[in-house]
Amino acid sequence: MASDTAAGTGKVPAAPRSRKSVTGTRRTVAALFLLPALVLLGALVVYPIGYSVIRSFYDQSGDGFAGFDNYQALFTDDGIRTALKNNIIWVVFAPTIATALGLIFAVLTERVRWGTAFKLVVFMPMAISMLAAGIIFRLVYDQDPDKGVANAVWVGVHDTFAQSSAFPKAHPGRESPLEPAGGGAFITKDTVSAGDTVTLPLVGVAPDLMPDDAKRAAAPKPEGDRITGTTWQDFTRGKGVGTLNGVDGTELGYAGMKIEAVKDGKVVETATAAGDGTFSLSAKADGAQLRLSASNFKEPYNGVDWLGPSLVTPAIIGSYIWMWAGFAMVLIAAGLAGMPRDLLEAARVDGANEWQVFRRITVPLLAPVLAVVTVTLMINVLKVFDLVFIIAPGSSQDDANVLALELYRQGFAADQPGIASAIAVFLLLLVIPVMWFNIRRLRREVRR
C-alpha cells in the first residue's frame, strides 16, 4: 500500500541509506582501513599455512607427490614419537602446575603486607626472553656443584646428612705395608699384636684438598698392651726430600680416617684417626689385620644429573613454570579482585574455615578464569621450542625432544621439508580445538 500511495502522489520512494557503523564510519571506509592488515594477515599467516599444507604432501625434493607418507612418519619415526610423547607430558603437567602455583600465589598475596612486591618478583621472569631463561637454567642445572645452583643446594643438603670422604684419591705408595682388600678398601699385609706401633702411609691427595682439621703427622708411640699407629700423607715437597714410609715433620695426618681391626673376616674393633693421624686400638685387636674401609675413599657426592636422559624433560618443565607461574598469578589475581566478597564473608560467618572457603567458594568462582589460563598455557606449551633447544645438551636432546624442536630439526638439520610441514600442520590441528575452546569461553564471559 505504501508503494500505491507513493505512485498516487507521484513521489519516487527514497533509496535506502547505506548503513553506518556504531562510530559513524561507513563500511567502505572501514574496509579500506582494514585492507593493509588483511593483506599482512594473508601474507604472513594464511599463505604460510596453505603452503605448509600443500608441501606436506610432497617428498623431500618437492617435485614428487608423497601422499600421506609424511604424516605416516609422524607415528612411525622414533624421534617424532618421542617428541609427541614429551608434548603430551608438557601439556598435562606444565599448564596444570603453573596454574596451581598461580592460584596459590594469588590467594596468599592478598593476605600479606608486601603482596604487590611479591607479585612483581614472581611476574618478573615474564620480562625475560625464552633465550635468556634457557641460558640461565642451563647454568642452574650444570652438573658441577661449583657452577650449578641446583646441584650446589642438593649436594649441600646431602652432605649435611651424609658427609663425603676427604680422601677419594688416596692409595698406598711404594713399598707400603698396605695392599688392596677389594671394594676400594686397603688392609695391612701382616697382623698386629698388642704393644705394636703401626704406620699406614698413603699418597694421592693434593695438599690443598686435605681436611681443614689435618695437623702435622705424629709418629706412633707404644702404649703398653694397646696397638697404636699413624695414617698420614706420605709426601714431602721437593725432589728426594722425606723418608719413604716414615713420618716427616711437614707431612699431614689423615684426620678422621676410619681404621678397622679385622679378625677371621669380622670387625672386632674400630678407631678414628685424630688430626695428626694417630689412632689407638685395645688388646681386642691382637692378631688382627688393620683395614682402611672403603668409605674412607668413596668419591664425593656430585649431585643429580638434571640434564640426563631421565630428568631433562622435568627439569625444562621446571624452568617453564618459573617463567609462566607469574602470568597465571596475575590473571587469577584479577579474577580474584572481582569476586564478590560478601559470599566469602557469609561462609566464614557460617563457620567455614579458610580451607573450606577456598575449596568450595573461591575455586568454583574462579573456574572460568582458571580454565582460560590453563587453556592459554596449553596452547603455549604446544609450541615450546626455545627452552628445549637451549637447555637440553646434545647428549640428551633426543630424550627432551618436542614437536616444535623436531620440526626445526627435520626442516633444517635433516633437510626434510615435507616431514617438517606435516609436523607443522599436525601442530596446527592440535592447537585449533584448544583455541576454539578458549575463544568460546571468552565470548561466553563477554555475554555475561
pLDDT of residue 262: 93
Count of CB atoms situated within 10 Å of the CB of 52: 18
User: In the predicted model, what is the mean pLDDT of the chain?
Assistant: 86
Side-chain half-sphere CA neighbours of 316 within 13 A: 31
Task: Report whether pLDDT(239) > 60.
Answer: no
| Percentage of the residues of the chain whose pLDDT score is greater than 70 | 92
Average of per-residue pLDDT across 196-211: 85
Helices (H) and strands (E) in the chain, counts: 15, 8
pLDDT score for 74: 87
Average pLDDT in the 50-58 region?
92
Please say if the pLDDT value at position 16 is more than 70.
no
Residues facing residue 292 across a β-bridge: 186, 259
- Which tens digits make up the pLDDT trace of 150-191? 999 998 888 777 766 778 888 898 888 999 988 889 999 999
Give pLDDT, residue 6.
46
Which grid coordinates are listed for 139? 647454568
Averaged pLDDT, 188-203: 91
Q: What is the pLDDT of residues 414-424, one digit of tens each?
A: 888 999 999 99
User: How far apart (Å, rounded) are the C-alpha atoms in residues 64 and 70?
Assistant: 12
Which pLDDT score, from 0 to 100, does residue 390 have? 94
Which pLDDT does position 209 carry in this prediction?
76
Least confident span in 224-228, 270-274, 443-447 = 443-447
Evaluate whether 56 touches 418 at the Cβ level (below 8 Å): yes
| Distance from C-alpha of 209 to C-alpha of 300, rounded to nearest angstrom | 12
Arithmetic mean of pLDDT, 10-21: 53
How would you classify the pairing of strands 266-272 and 289-292? unpaired
317 pLDDT band, cuts 50/70/90, is very high
Under the banding of pLDDT at 50, 70 and 90, the label for residue 306 is very high
For the entire predicted model, the pTM comes to: 0.75
Contact 283, 225 (CB under 8 A): yes
Query: How high is the pLDDT of residue 200?
Result: 92
pLDDT at 22: 54
Distance (Å, whole) CA 319 – CA 324: 9
Please give the pLDDT value at position 11.
55
Q: What is the pLDDT of residue 353?
A: 87
The pLDDT tens digits of the residues spanning 127-136 come to 888 899 999 9
The predicted pLDDT at position 19 comes to 53
pLDDT of residue 2: 46
b/e per residue, 249-262, with b = 16+ CB within 10 A? eebbbbbbbbbbbb
Secondary structure string (H, E, C) spanning 368-393: HHHHHHHHHHHHHHHCCCHHHHHHCC
pLDDT (average), residues 125-149: 91
| Banded pLDDT at 438 (limits 50, 70, 90) | confident
Q: How many C-beta neighbours within 10 Å does residue 167 have? A: 22
- Residue 419: alpha-carbon gap to chain centroid: 30
> What's the length of the chain?
448
Q: What is the pLDDT of residues 322-379, one digit of tens each?
A: 999 999 999 999 888 888 888 888 888 888 888 888 888 889 889 888 988 998 899 8
| Placement of cell 702411609 in the chain | 201
**C-alpha cell of 213?**
682439621
